[in-house]
């Protein structure tokens, strides 16, 4: 590990270092009048200029590179060497070492044969290492060796369901029932109507139809008009009205043979 690592990470010109407070003061028209009651007694130098001013940058790639090289070493040896290069008496160096744990887990333990991360003093315990996809390195609790997380940025593969539905057009669909393909013809569920009863009241009655795919009765109980005669715009309900077995020609046209 190079002895000037903290210089490599810290010492670089500040972002927007070419800007001048004089130019910002002239551009934004900031006035400093100590006699005004609205002015505070003490104020930071860049406070009147907003957020778009000079700022320090943190270049953490060299730090992560040292962790990458330390894979296979004991964490105590690596951290001791790191502290010898960083003066821990300065606030800036201590802050940089806090970023060491952004992608690195030191507190690990074994539970039910798996590695968990996080403090054990919590009632709920920690979390499985395999679920921490943003953790790149960890300390093996069995021997204190730095290792790479095999599940770092791991993406679960999508489970592909077997294809059992294929739309031919808007009114025809092929469905696989068991090991046989059928062609179903779709139709709209007939809408109901308002009827009057013997007492003089009105209520809406639907016209049920049976779906040949699942055998259920489907009924559109949504009135197309309100009881005062106002029309309603409703999306029509559809059901499987007819079915037939798919022929070899149909299967070949659909790319299933």
Q: How far is CA 37 from CA 32, 48, 96, 159, in A?
A: 12, 16, 40, 67
DSSP SS3 for 66 = helix
Tens digits of residue pLDDT in 99-129: 888 888 888 888 888 898 876 655 556 788 8
pLDDT at 13: 58
pLDDT at 140: 92
Tens digits of residue pLDDT in 151-198: 999 888 877 777 889 999 999 999 999 889 999 999 998 877 777 777
pLDDT at 243: 93
pLDDT at 100: 83
Kindly report the pTM of this predicted structure.
0.49
Q: Who has greater pLDDT, 2 or 27? A: 2
pLDDT at 75: 92
Q: What is the mean pLDDT of residues 14-30?
A: 54
- 138 and 127 in contact (C-beta within 8 Å)? no
Q: Who has greater pLDDT, 32 or 58? A: 58
- 228 and 256 in contact (C-beta within 8 Å)? no
Tens digits of residue pLDDT in 78-101: 988 888 877 777 777 777 778 888
- 87 and 75 in contact (C-beta within 8 Å)? no
Evaluate if residue 239 carries a pLDDT over 70. yes
Percent of the chain with pLDDT over 90: 24
User: CA-to-CA distance for 207 and 189, rounded, in angstroms?
Assistant: 8
pLDDT at 107: 86
């Amino acid at each position: 590990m190079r002895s000037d690592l903290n210089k490599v990470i810290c010492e670089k010109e500040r972002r927007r270092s070419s800007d001048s407070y004089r130019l910002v003061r002239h551009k934004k028209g900031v006035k400093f009048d100590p006699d005004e009651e609205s002015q505070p007694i003490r104020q930071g130098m860049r406070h009147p200029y907003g957020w778009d001013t000079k700022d320090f940058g943190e270049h953490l790639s060299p730090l992560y590179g040292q962790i990458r090289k330390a894979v296979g070493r004991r964490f105590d040896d690596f951290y001791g060497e790191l502290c010898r290069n960083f003066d821990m008496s300065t606030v800036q160096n201590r802050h940089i070492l806090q970023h060491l744990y952004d992608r690195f887990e030191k507190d690990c333990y074994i539970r039910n044969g798996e590695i968990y991360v996080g403090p054990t003093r919590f009632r709920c315990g920690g979390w499985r290492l395999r679920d921490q996809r943003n953790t790149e390195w960890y300390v093996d609790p069995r021997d204190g060796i730095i290792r790479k997380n095999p599940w770092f940025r791991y993406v679960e593969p999508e489970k592909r369901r077997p294809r059992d539905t294929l739309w031919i057009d808007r009114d025809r669909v092929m469905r696989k029932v068991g090991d046989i393909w059928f062609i179903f013809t779709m139709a709209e569920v007939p809408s109901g109507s308002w009827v009057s009863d013997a007492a003089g009241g009105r209520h809406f009655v639907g016209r049920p139809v049976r779906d040949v795919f699942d055998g259920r009765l489907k009924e559109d109980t949504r009135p197309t008009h309100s009881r005062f005669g106002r029309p309603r715009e409703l999306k029509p309900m559809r059901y499987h009205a007819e079915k037939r077995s798919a022929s070899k020609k149909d299967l070949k046209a659909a790319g299933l043979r």
